[in-house]
């Protein structure tokens, strides 16, 4: 049977009612809370609340601008908070001495208090799946402060959202409230959606609203942007993802989509995933595309400039290269294609015929035959920058990172194209490791990673727009799938006798033609090996002040042959002197 406790309960020593304190004294909201609390404890709260509290409930409900039921709940939650107790629904059942079913009629009032921001609800970290203890409730701190000071109800200043920056800040604060457990994800999504619809007059807000993203992703996107504007280069996503995806399996699946690049924020090039120091950390940062979108509303994100891995054409020294007739024919064609007028006309023609808009060229052959230098000289002749990639840079200690590095390289090339007057060259130097035959029948992580890298490279080359040159020493190992991706495949042979003679005479000006022919005929060296010998001559000249004589040159040739044999490279033949 429910207890009928009136305000007269105070006369027994439990708590003074407002009438007992002073019949002439005006009841303050704080007095009302005090009386309501003492009358409520263990009361079993009957349908008409507690008889005798009408005056107190009227005073408090008028102060809070709510109904009597809401004022009743607020008074008790606020007092329990001041006692230091966190109030979840189970705490309230026990306080009133009622069953959960008896409390059900009061749930709408509890929700209404939350919607009016008179109370906050915070998610229990370890009870998120517990219906009764999913949230605990607390009275708004500014209202408690006003009550204690007997001050008027605090009027929150209306946030004017006059521009994109203010809109982003408001949404960030709501997201942060969800992260702190003060708002659930459903309410957050609802409020953010209302704000985006109301503020679509701003260009960037309109863009966010129209993007093909999940509702949660829009909030994540704005969260990262605001943190970036506040000075965070790479934003740790552990807390927001945990808050926005409370179900563990959903959270793990979403994190995996970030790693794989399938997440729409990543695939749409709005954010990019950055490898963190710790394996399970997720850090995201804004992309150039997002920076460009923000500039539509005059918002500038200053990003630290990346170290340039480009080679300017003017920094490349002119160098004479000697080719066989077949090599010269193919290289001349490539050289002409890369000249500005020819390249522009060619791309227009390909576009008109709906053909791939790329020049993918493979240079293959023995080490030291001039492949790398040819790429440099082609770029210099056509006035194009080179984005040089040493393939060893794409390898990572973390499984899966190599694949991301490949994608990142092509993204960086796209960005470089936007900032270059002439289409630059993407140059993969010594690309043996990623152009060789794919491994079959192996389940090792290494084999799977290498195959994944090649699949990504094949896909990127299929859709590539620009000039791509790659060099490799192991042409016989070239995976067949790359054949049709390369428009030209130029084989570099070891230089013939005539070419070797010309190289010797070009490199060492004081060498007679007979001596040059002797060295060329007796030592089957590549251009790269002859370059090594020339450098040794220059060292001798600087240190000793004399040029290397013919006997010294022969000695250097022997040394180079021995060095090459120890490195495992084929060195050809050497005649007896």
Give the model's confidence band at 437: pLDDT under 50 very low, under 70 low, under 90 confident, else very high. Answer: low
In whole angstroms, what is the distance from residue 441 CA to residue 388 CA?
A: 33
Whether 35 and 112 map to the same domain: the answer is yes
* Last residue within a domain, chosen from 295, 324, 347: 295
Decide if 155 is inside a domain: no
Q: Looking at 51-158, which runs of residues are DSSP E strands?
A: 87-88, 119-123, 135-139
CATH of the domain at 481: 3.40.50.300
Q: How many residues does the chain have?
A: 577
In whole angstroms, what is the distance from residue 92 CA to residue 100 CA?
A: 9
In whole angstroms, what is the distance from residue 374 CA to residue 384 CA?
A: 14
Q: What percent of the chain has pLDDT over 90?
A: 26
Burial class (CB in 10 A: 0-12, 13-18, 19+), 148: exposed
3-state secondary structure at position 161 = coil
Whether 350 and 271 map to the same domain: the answer is no
Q: What percent of the chain has pLDDT over 70?
A: 82
Higher pLDDT, 107 or 570: 107
* Residues 76 and 37 sit within 8 Å (Cβ to Cβ): yes
Pull the structure tokens for residue 363: 């240079």
User: In this model, does residue 465 exceed pLDDT 50?
Assistant: yes
Whether 366 and 470 map to the same domain: the answer is yes
Give the model's confidence band at 381: pLDDT under 50 very low, under 70 low, under 90 confident, else very high. Answer: very high
In whole angstroms, what is the distance from residue 254 CA to residue 520 CA?
A: 63
Dump pLDDT digits (tens) for 5-57.
Answer: 343 343 333 344 333 344 556 889 999 999 999 888 878 876 667 778 889 99
Decide if 396 is inside a domain: yes
Q: Give the pLDDT score at 487.
A: 87
- Say how many Å lie between the first and final Cα of the chain, rounded: 120
Decide if 576 is inside a domain: no
Q: How many domains does the chain have?
A: 4
Dump pLDDT digits (tens) for 232-285.
Answer: 888 888 889 988 998 889 999 998 888 888 899 998 989 988 755 444 568 898
Decide if 30 is inside a domain: yes
Pull the structure tokens for residue 409: 């390289």
Decide if 240 is inside a domain: yes
* Last residue within a domain, chosen from 295, 329, 350: 295
In whole angstroms, what is the distance from residue 377 CA to residue 176 CA?
A: 55
Whether 327 and 447 map to the same domain: the answer is yes
Edge to edge, the sheet with strand 235-236 lists: 235-236, 283-286, 271-274
Give the model's confidence band at 75: pLDDT under 50 very low, under 70 low, under 90 confident, else very high. Answer: very high
* Residues 461 and 485 sit within 8 Å (Cβ to Cβ): yes
CATH of the domain at 90: 1.10.10
In whole angstroms, what is the distance from residue 374 CA to residue 279 CA?
A: 41
Whether 381 and 525 map to the same domain: the answer is no
Phi first, then psi, for residue 428 (nearest 5°) are: -95, 105
Whether 74 and 193 map to the same domain: the answer is no
Whether 214 and 332 map to the same domain: the answer is no
Higher pLDDT, 373 or 484: 373
Decide if 575 is inside a domain: no
3-state secondary structure at position 489 = strand
Strand partners, 494: none
Whether 277 and 220 map to the same domain: the answer is yes
Decide if 577 is inside a domain: no
Burial class (CB in 10 A: 0-12, 13-18, 19+), 77: buried
Whether 322 and 423 map to the same domain: the answer is yes
Decide if 561 is inside a domain: yes
Whether 353 and 452 map to the same domain: the answer is yes
Range of the domain at 225: 164-295
* Residues 251 and 245 sit within 8 Å (Cβ to Cβ): yes
Using alpha carbons, select from 310, 313, 271 the residue that is nearest to residue 293.
Answer: 271
What does the DSSP assignment read for 1-12? ------GGGGGG
Higher pLDDT, 86 or 529: 529
Whether 375 and 430 map to the same domain: the answer is yes
In whole angstroms, what is the distance from residue 354 CA to residue 533 CA?
A: 50
Output the CA angle 353-351-491, nearest 5 degrees.
90
3-state secondary structure at position 88 = strand
**pTM: predicted TM-score of the whole model, two decimal places:** 0.53
Whether 409 and 488 map to the same domain: the answer is yes
Using alpha carbons, select from 174, 92, 95, 169 the residue that is nearest to residue 136.
Answer: 92
* Last residue within a domain, chosen from 469, 492, 515: 492
User: In this model, does residue 312 exceed pLDDT 90?
Assistant: yes
* Residues 176 and 208 sit within 8 Å (Cβ to Cβ): no
């Amino acid at each position: 049977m429910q207890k009928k406790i009136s305000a007269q309960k105070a006369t027994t020593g439990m708590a003074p009612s407002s009438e007992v304190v002073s019949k002439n004294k005006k009841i303050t909201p704080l007095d009302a809370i005090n009386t309501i609390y003492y009358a409520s404890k263990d009361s079993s709260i009957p349908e008409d609340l507690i008889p005798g509290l009408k005056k107190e409930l009227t005073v408090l409900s008028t102060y809070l601008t709510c109904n009597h039921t809401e004022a009743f709940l607020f008074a008790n939650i606020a007092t329990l908070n001041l006692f230091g107790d966190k109030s979840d629904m189970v705490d309230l059942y026990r306080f009133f001495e009622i069953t959960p079913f008896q409390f059900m009629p009061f749930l709408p009032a509890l929700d209404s208090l939350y919607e009016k921001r008179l109370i906050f609800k915070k998610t229990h970290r370890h009870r998120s799946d517990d219906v009764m203890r999913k949230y605990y409730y607390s009275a708004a701190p500014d209202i408690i402060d006003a009550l204690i000071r007997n001050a008027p109800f605090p009027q929150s200043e209306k946030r004017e959202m006059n521009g994109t920056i203010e809109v982003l800040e408001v949404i960030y604060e709501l997201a942060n409230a969800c992260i702190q457990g003060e708002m659930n994800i459903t309410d957050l999504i609802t409020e953010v959606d209302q704000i985006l619809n109301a503020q679509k007059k701003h260009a960037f807000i309109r863009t966010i609203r129209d993007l093909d993203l999940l509702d949660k992703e829009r909030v994540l996107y704005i969260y990262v942007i605001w943190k970036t504007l506040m000075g965070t280069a790479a934003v740790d996503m552990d807390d927001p993802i945990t808050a926005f995806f409370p179900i563990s399996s959903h959270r793990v699946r979403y994190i995996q989509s970030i790693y794989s690049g399938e997440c729409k924020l990543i695939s749409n090039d709005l954010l990019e995933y950055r490898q963190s120091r710790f394996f399970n950390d997720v850090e995201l940062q804004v992309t150039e595309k997002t920076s460009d979108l923000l500039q539509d509303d005059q918002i500038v994100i200053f990003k630290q400039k990346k170290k340039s891995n480009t080679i300017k054409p003017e920094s490349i020294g002119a160098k004479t290269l000697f080719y066989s007739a077949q090599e010269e024919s193919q290289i001349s064609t490539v050289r002409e294609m890369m000249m500005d007028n020819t390249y522009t006309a060619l791309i227009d023609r390909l576009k008109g015929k709906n053909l791939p808009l790329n020049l993918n060229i493979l240079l293959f052959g023995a080490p030291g035959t001039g492949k790398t230098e040819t790429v440099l000289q082609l770029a210099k002749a056509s006035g194009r920058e080179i984005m040089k990639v040493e393939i060893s840079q794409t390898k990572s200690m973390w499984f899966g990172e190599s694949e991301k590095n490949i994608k990142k390289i092509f993204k960086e090339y796209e960005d470089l194209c936007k900032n270059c007057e002439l289409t630059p060259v993407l140059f993969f130097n010594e690309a043996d490791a990623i152009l060789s035959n794919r491994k079959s029948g192996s389940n090792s992580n290494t084999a799977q990673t290498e195959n994944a890298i090649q699949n990504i490279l094949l896909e990127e080359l299929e859709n590539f727009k620009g000039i791509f040159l790659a060099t490799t020493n192991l042409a016989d190992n070239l995976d067949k799938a790359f054949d049709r991706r390369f428009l030209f495949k130029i084989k570099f042979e070891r230089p013939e006798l005539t070419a070797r003679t010309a190289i010797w005479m070009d490199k060492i000006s004081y060498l007679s033609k007979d001596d040059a022919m002797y060295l060329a005929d007796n030592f089957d060296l590549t251009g790269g090996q002859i370059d090594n010998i020339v450098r040794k001559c220059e060292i001798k000249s600087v240190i000793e002040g004399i040029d290397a004589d013919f006997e010294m040159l022969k000695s250097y040739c022997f040394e180079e042959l021995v060095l090459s044999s120890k490195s495992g490279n084929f060195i050809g033949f050497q005649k007896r002197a």
